[in-house]
Structure 1
């Protein structure tokens, strides 16, 4: 192959796509929460995909202002600026949420309401847990909220009914075949939407 042919070949070979940046949002901040077990389980499944890059955002570790009375002190402004930048950098989101009183936790609502452009034209997937409902009522409420913010919710979810009984003391699921298959479907769909929307915005800015 001569130099000209090699240069032409290099010019027509597409560069590898950058990993899809996925912000995984841990929504519970209650004392004694089961959330870290679910988060560790999900992150282990996502870690098997080299095309994904995850960033765990734990609401319990954030000292955010409230969206209704926004007068933060300098330190709180720094925390908000940091989390806003992380949300803005994400190509997609996974929300891990319990169900509180047939809905989702207040700290998650506050995090959502403090932002707008950061959510727009990006996909959002849901992993939920709880009692009989498995947190699905929280997910249905979240779909409405994210639709208002011009985000795209992923159809398939992962839900854990009576979650505490499903994992052993080491955080391993006792019967992993079903949840593992559900996680694969969720990640497949999230990756498709994340790549499609990222490419679309690169070609033409979203006008929402």
Structure 2
């Protein structure tokens, strides 16, 4: 396209030599092809280089370099202290057994790898299972049974299973009646009767009292 514009007279491309000996391309565009072309003016860069060279030749001695003013370097600011790590409240003692059970699930099923935060969040649910009479081995087996193949969030799965499969509380144990007194032989008539200690039967006590 540039060659076609140049052939039609809209464009002129030349090479210009700078005072330092380098050649640079120069492109001139024309709004009216065939008009008188003015003499190419000197480029600002070439004129600046020429004026600099002439000024350098006219000057006899180079100016003395100015002494650099040294400014005091401000001391580097001390790095800000790191914020203290947030302290977590200790886990209540009643949840220690549940936390140990949850942390050990990965030994039974590698996909049940829980973070410390997840263990603290799920421990109260496991504690409720244990307080309802569930054996720890039965709890571990139930939580790890029939896991889905695409298990991506074990903590969420365990939270759902702990709530959905919560065992009922144990029924109240009835209070057994006290055992009856043992049999004793009366010291007078040798009859058998129930009493906490040996002695006279009821009839012999009544006769003795009379």
* Structure number, greater radius of gyration: 2
**TM-score normalized by structure 2?**
0.22
Question: Bigger relative contact order, structure 1 or 2, given CA contacts below 8 A and separation 6+?
Answer: 1
